[in-house]
Amino acid sequence: EDKVVQSPLSLVVHEGDTVTLNCSYEVTNFRSLLWYKQEKKAPTFLFMLTSSGIEKKSGRLSSILDKKELSSILNITATQTGDSAIYLCASLSSNTGKLIFGQGTTLQVKP
């Protein structure tokens, strides 16, 4: 059975801290690993990682995929209260475009 597991499930940090969120996957027909940020409503897309070892960056956020270890990390540096959200990772199937999501990591950034 395909599965995606995230850790930790929740995290509380203070502004300025650096956080690392983890995602591991066991899926057949794996194509890519995606990260989404979910605040009050819809998940919004952050990154798609297809090739191992290549870091994707957007401002203070970065992510990297390790296909050998079947895992990915999402780093957030110099956290701000606006980073408080649920961070979801998902594996993308090569056949159907289906996403299998992890449980999500709830990040709270305190002032």
Partner 1 sequence: NAGVTQTPKFRVLKTGQSMTLLCAQDMNHEYMYWYRQDPGMGLRLIHYSVGEGTTAKGEVPDGYNVSRLKKQNFLLGLESAAPSQTSVYFCASSLNTYNEQFFGPGTRLTVL
Task: By CB under 8 A, name the one of 21, 49, 104, 107 that touches partner 1.
Answer: 104
Return phi, psi of residue 109, to 5°. -110, 115
27 with 4: CB under 8 angstroms? Answer: yes
Residue from 34, 65, 74, 107 binding partner 1 (CB under 8 A)? 34
CB of 98 to partner 1, least distance (A): 6
Q: Using CB under 8 A, pick the residue from 59, 82, 97, 111 that binds partner 1.
A: 97
The full DSSP string for 4-52 is EEEE-SEEEEETT--EEEEEEEE-SSEEEEEEEEESSSSEEEEEEE-ST
CB nearer to partner 1: give 63 or 102. Answer: 102
Least Å distance, CB 111 to partner 1, is: 26
Binding to partner 1 by residue 68, rule CB under 8 A? no
